[in-house]
């Protein structure tokens, strides 16, 4: 049935559109589409991180800073403040990020059902967009599969200063090389405004979010 339908739909489209253009003409037309919008940001390093921090705070996320050597200690501090202990991690997370005294469990050993029972998740990211306060996770090193950052109720995400860009187009430029990987943009904890347009934190995704900026 579906083969006949495929041909019928394509024929109906072609009939409605008239003469088809060849591939080169379509590509040339695409290249000439107007794109006068802002692509490149103007903020310098500190101002950029400040904008990103402000956006995250607006989403009610916790924002912390550490230097490269201080990651493990800071992670411990944040987890302690949140009162969480059993934390799922991507299998390949560097050991020096993981403070002793917490129960870190590699995600590959978990089914989703078991993920539901951990306190939280810790991972890195691919890129962060300051203007919208968004962080992009991919199925890439130190990030793991998509459900890892979804099922637990608490999320701690590491963002390196060099990963922060200002605009959405700059973010997409960074993603271009790995665009085929499964990816999730998240901007604050999960939320809804479905009841009387009141924004409420935390429906199905993590209700609590902390971001550790590594500068």
Partner 1 sequence: MTPPETLAESRQNFPEAARELLADSQIRKNVRHATDVIQAKRNKVVAELPDWQDLREAGSAIRAHALEHLDHYLAQFEANCTRAGGQVHWARDAAEANSIILGLIQKHEAKEVIKVKTMTSEEIKLNAHLEAHGVRPIETDLAELIVQLGHDKPSHFVAPALHKNRQEVREIFQREMKLPELGETPEDLCAAARTYLREKYLRIKVAVSGANFLVAETGSVCLVESEGNGRMCLTLPDVLISIVGIEKVIPRFQDLEVFLQTLPRSATGERMNPYNSIWTGVHEGDGPREFHLVLLDNGRSPILADKEARQTLKCIRCAACLNVCPVYHQTGGHAYRSVYAGPIGAILTPQLHDMKDGRSLPYASSLCGACYEVCPVKINIPEVLIHLRGKIVEEEQKTLGGKLGLWNIGMQAAAFLFADASRFSAAQHLGQMGQKVFVSKSGFIEALPLMLSGWTQTRDLAALPKQTFRDWWAAREEREEKAR
Subset of 108-127 contacting partner 1 (CB under 8 A):
108, 112-113, 116
Binding characters for partner 1, 48-87, by CB under 8 A (x = yes): -------x--------------------------------
Q: Which is nearer to partner 1, 38 or 86 (CB)?
A: 38
For residues 127 and 135, what is the distance between their CA atoms, to the nearest angstrom? Answer: 6
141: contact with partner 1 by CB under 8 A: no
Binding to partner 1 in span 160-179, by CB under 8 A:
168-169, 171-173, 175-176, 179
The dihedrals phi and psi of 184, each to the nearest 5 degrees, come to: -135, 125
- DSSP annotation of 81 reads H
200: contact with partner 1 by CB under 8 A: yes
Place of tokens 């967009």: 129
105: contact with partner 1 by CB under 8 A: no
181: contact with partner 1 by CB under 8 A: yes
Among 7-15, 43-51, 60-68, 98-106, the segment contacting partner 1 (CB under 8 A): 7-15
96: contact with partner 1 by CB under 8 A: no
For residues 88 and 121, is the Cβ–Cβ distance under 8 A?
A: yes
Residue 164's closest CA among 30, 78, 53, 10? 53
Chain centroid, CA 182 distance in Å: 11
182: contact with partner 1 by CB under 8 A: yes
Contacts (Cβ under 8 Å, ≥6 apart) of 179? none
């Amino acid at each position: 049935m579906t083969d006949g339908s495929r041909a019928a739909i394509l024929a109906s489209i072609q009939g409605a559109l008239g003469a088809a253009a060849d591939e080169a003409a379509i590509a040339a037309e695409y290249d000439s589409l107007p794109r006068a919008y802002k692509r490149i940001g103007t903020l310098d390093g500190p101002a950029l991180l400040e904008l990103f921090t402000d956006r995250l705070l607006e989403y009610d996320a916790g924002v912390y800073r550490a230097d490269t050597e201080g990651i493990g200690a800071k992670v411990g501090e944040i987890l302690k403040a949140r009162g969480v202990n059993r934390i799922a991690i991507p299998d390949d997370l560097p050991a020096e990020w993981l403070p002793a005294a917490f129960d870190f469990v590699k995600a590959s050993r978990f089914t989703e059902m078991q993920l539901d029972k951990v306190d939280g998740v810790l991972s890195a990211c691919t890129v962060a967009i300051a203007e919208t306060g968004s962080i992009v996770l991919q199925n890439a090193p130190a990030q793991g599969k998509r459900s890892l950052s979804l099922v637990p109720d608490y999320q701690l995400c590491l963002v390196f200063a060099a990963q922060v860009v200002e605009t959405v187009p700059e973010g997409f430029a960074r993603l271009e090389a790995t665009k085929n990987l499964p990816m999730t943009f998240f901007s604050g904890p999960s939320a809804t405004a479905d009841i009387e347009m009141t924004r409420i934190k935390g429906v199905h995704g993590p209700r609590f979010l902390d971001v550790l900026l590594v500068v």
